[in-house]
C-alpha cells in the first residue's frame, strides 16, 4: 500500500548560485557520505549531484507531509549510488515502516525527483536493498516501445497492461515510466491492482481485464475502475447492487474464440447492450475481445476470431464514442489493425518478442535487466564438486565466483548451465545446481569481489534475453518475468 508520495523540481543553476553564495549550504543538505561522493564529482556533475539530493529530500518531505523540519531533517535522509550507479535512499525517517522508491532525472537545467513510500506491512517479504543483486528498469526503452507501437498501429489510445506487478517489472517503476511515456490508460487483472493504481495517484482510465465479482460494484464505482461485463447475469447482479447516486463505467467482453471470459451469443450481447444503453448511471465505455493466436505464424484461427467478432458486433446499437479494443501485443505487432480506437499492450511494452522468434523481428527494446555482484571468489583444485548434488566437478584448477541470486529470486533451478555476462561481454557458465539464494559460475581468471555480472540484459554486443531463459526452460518469457521475486530491488533507470 502506498502511504505517501512527493515530487519536486529544482533548477540546477539556481542551486549552483546558492552554493556559491553560501558554501555551507552544501554540508547542510549533504550527509558526510554524500559529501564524499560530491567531492569525487567534477564540474557540472557536482552541482547536478547536489541539486538532485536537494530535490529528492524535498520530495521525501512532501511524501511524509511535513516538509523539511520536525520529522525530516536534511541529514535524516541519505541517497547514495548503488552498484550500478543508480540513486538509492539508504536512510530515511520512515525506514522501519516503508520502502522508499525514488527517481531522479535531469531535463536540461532542471532536476526532477519523485518519492513513493510503500508500506512494509503490505509487502509479502522484505526488499533486499542491501544485497548486491537488483533489477534495472529502463524508462528510455519503455518510452521507445510505447512510441513504436503507437506508430505501428496508429492507435488513438495506448493502454499499458501492468497486471501481475507489471509483468514482474515492478508496478511503481513501470507506472512512473509509462506515465512519462504518455500512455492513455492502464489495464490490470484484478480490482485490487486497480485500487493500488488509484492510491498511487493514477488519474487515467483503468480497465480491469478479469471478472470482478459483482458484490464489489460499489468499490468499482468509488475508485472509477472499468470492469468487464462478461455475461448478462453479471450485469444484472451489478445493476441491482449499484447505488442510484453512483456511476459505473464498463466495457463489454466478447468471446470470439479465446474460450476464457466474455459473451459468445449474439442475442445475449444485444440484451446486454440494450440494458447498458438504458441505464442512467452506467457509462458504456468500451467493447473488446482477445486474440488467442496473434503471436503465431498461422493466421487461420486469427481470421476465424475476427470473423466471429464481426458476426457478433456488426450493426449493434453501440454508443458513437465507444472504444473498440481488440489488439493485444501480437495483434499490434504483426497484423492489420481491426480497430484504431485503443490497443492493450503488455508484452511489447516490456520489449518481449511474444512470438519467440516465430515472426519477423520488431524494433523493441528490453526494459528489464537483472544484475548482481560477485560476493565470493576462490580458486579450487581439480576434482572439486560445486553445489547441491555434486552435479558439477572440476577437471582442472578453476576460478569459481558466487552470485547472490537463487531460485527464491525467480531464477529457477532449471537454468543450470546458463551463461551470465561479465563486464567485458565475455560469457561465464553457471556450474552446479542453483540454490535458493545463490549460484556459482566458472570464471576465466581471478576477478575481484564486487565484479558486476549480468544475468538478463546486454553488455556490449552480447545479450542474454528473457526469451533465452524461456527457451532454456521450454516456457514463455512472461513466466520468467512474473516469477522474479519481490525481494529483488527494482531501480528505474534512464
Active site residues: 163, 388
Strands 185-188 and 206-208: parallel
Residues composing the chain: 494
For 139-244, where are the alpha helices, taking DSSP H only?
139-153, 163-167, 171-180, 191-199, 217-222, 232-241
Backbone φ and ψ for 24, nearest 5 degrees, come out as: -65, -20
Q: Is 436 labeled as ligand-binding?
A: yes
**Quick check: 450 and 374 in contact, CB under 8 A?**
yes
Q: Measured between alpha carbons, how far is 229 from 241 in angstroms, rounded to an integer?
A: 15
Q: Is 418 labeled as ligand-binding?
A: no
Pick from 168, 199, 198: nearest CA to 185:
198
**Quick check: 448 and 133 in contact, CB under 8 A?**
no
**Cell numbers representing residue 300 in the block:** 487461420
Q: Measured between alpha carbons, how far is 351 from 140 in angstroms, rounded to an integer?
A: 12
368 strand-pairing partners: 137
Q: Is 129 labeled as ligand-binding?
A: no
Q: Measured between alpha carbons, how far is 471 from 439 in angstroms, rounded to an integer?
A: 20
Q: Measured between alpha carbons, how far is 376 from 449 in angstroms, rounded to an integer?
A: 6
**Cell numbers representing residue 414 in the block:** 532449471
Q: Is 427 labeled as ligand-binding?
A: no
Backbone φ and ψ for 466, nearest 5 degrees, come out as: -60, -35
User: Which residues, 6 or more positions from 123, have their beta carbon under 8 angstroms from its beta carbon?
Assistant: 99, 486
Q: Measured between alpha carbons, how far is 284 from 134 in angstroms, rounded to an integer?
A: 43
**Cell numbers representing residue 427 in the block:** 560469457
453 strand-pairing partners: 372
**Cell numbers representing residue 462 in the block:** 552480447
User: Which residues, 6 or more positions from 96, have their beta carbon under 8 angstroms from its beta carbon?
Assistant: 120
**Cell numbers representing residue 9 in the block:** 523540481
Q: Measured between alpha carbons, how far is 397 from 376 in angstroms, rounded to an integer?
A: 17
Q: Measured between alpha carbons, how far is 340 from 311 in angstroms, rounded to an integer?
A: 19
Show binding-site residues for substrate: 260, 436
Annotated binding site for Mg(2+): 8, 58
Amino acid at each position: 500500500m502506498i502511504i505517501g508520495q512527493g515530487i519536486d523540481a529544482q533548477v540546477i543553476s539556481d542551486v549552483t548560485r546558492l552554493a556559491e553564495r553560501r558554501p555551507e549550504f552544501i554540508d547542510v543538505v549533504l550527509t558526510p557520505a554524500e559529501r564524499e561522493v560530491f567531492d569525487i564529482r567534477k564540474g557540472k556533475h557536482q552541482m547536478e549531484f547536489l541539486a538532485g539530493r536537494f530535490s529528492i529530500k524535498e520530495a521525501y518531505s512532501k511524501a511524509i507531509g511535513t516538509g523539511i523540519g520536525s520529522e525530516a531533517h536534511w541529514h535524516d535522509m541519505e541517497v547514495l549510488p548503488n552498484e550500478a550507479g543508480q540513486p538509492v535512499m539508504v536512510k530515511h525517517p520512515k525506514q522501519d515502516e516503508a520502502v522508499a522508491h525514488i527517481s531522479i532525472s535531469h531535463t536540461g537545467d532542471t532536476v526532477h525527483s519523485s518519492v513513493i513510500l510503500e508500506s512494509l506491512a503490505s509487502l509479502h517479504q522484505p526488499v533486499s536493498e542491501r544485497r548486491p543483486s537488483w533489477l534495472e528498469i529502463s524508462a528510455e526503452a519503455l518510452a521507445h516501445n510505447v512510441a513504436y507501437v503507437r506508430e505501428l498501429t496508429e492507435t488513438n489510445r495506448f493502454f499499458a497492461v501492468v497486471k501481475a506487478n507489471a509483468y514482474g517489472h515492478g508496478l511503481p517503476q513501470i507506472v512512473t515510466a509509462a506515465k512519462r511515456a504518455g500512455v492513455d490508460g492502464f489495464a490490470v487483472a484484478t480490482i485490487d491492482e486497480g485500487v493500488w493504481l488509484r492510491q498511487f495517484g493514477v488519474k487515467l482510465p483503468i480497465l480491469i481485464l478479469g471478472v470482478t465479482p459483482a458484490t464489489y460494484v460499489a468499490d468499482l464505482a468509488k475508485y472509477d475502475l472499468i470492469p468487464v461485463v462478461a455475461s448478462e447475469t453479471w450485469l444484472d447482479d451489478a445493476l441491482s447492487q449499484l447505488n442510484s447516486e453512483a456511476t459505473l463505467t464498463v466495457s463489454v467482453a466478447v468471446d470470439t474464440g479465446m474460450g476464457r471470459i466474455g459473451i459468445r451469443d449474439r442475442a445475449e450481447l444485444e440484451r446486454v447492450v440494450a440494458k447498458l444503453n438504458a441505464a442512467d448511471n452506467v457509462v458504456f465505455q468500451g467493447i473488446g475481445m482477445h486474440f488467442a493466436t496473434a503471436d503465431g505464424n498461422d493466421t487461420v484461427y486469427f481470421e476465424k476470431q475476427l470473423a466471429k467478432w464481426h458476426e457478433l458486433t456488426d450493426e449493434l446499437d453501440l454508443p458513437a464514442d465507444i472504444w473498440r479494443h481488440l489488439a493485444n501485443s501480437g495483434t499490434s505487432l504483426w497484423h492489420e489493425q481491426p480497430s484504431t480506437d485503443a490497443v492493450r499492450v503488455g508484452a511489447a511494452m516490456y520489449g518481449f518478442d511474444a512470438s519467440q522468434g516465430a515472426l519477423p523481428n520488431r524494433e523493441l527494446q528490453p526494459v528489464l535487466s537483472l544484475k548482481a555482484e560477485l560476493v565470493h571468489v576462490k580458486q579450487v583444485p581439480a576434482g572439486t564438486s560445486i553445489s547441491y548434488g555434486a552435479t558439477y566437478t572440476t577437471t582442472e584448477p578453476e576460478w569459481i565466483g558466487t552470485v547472490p541470486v537463487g531460485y527464491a529470486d525467480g531464477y529457477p533451478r532449471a537454468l543450470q548451465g546458463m551463461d551470465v555476462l561479465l563486464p567485458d561481454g565475455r560469457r561465464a557458465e553457471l556450474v552446479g545446481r542453483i540454490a535458493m539464494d545463490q549460484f556459482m559460475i566458472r570464471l576465466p581468471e581471478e576477478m575481484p569481489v564486487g565484479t558486476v555480472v549480468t544475468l538478463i540484459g546486454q553488455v556490449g554486443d552480447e545479450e542474454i534475453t528473457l526469451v533465452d531463459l524461456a527457451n532454456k526452460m521450454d516456457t514463455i518469457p512472461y513466466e520468467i518475468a512474473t516469477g522474479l521475486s519481490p525481494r529483488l530491488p527494482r531501480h528505474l533507470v534512464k
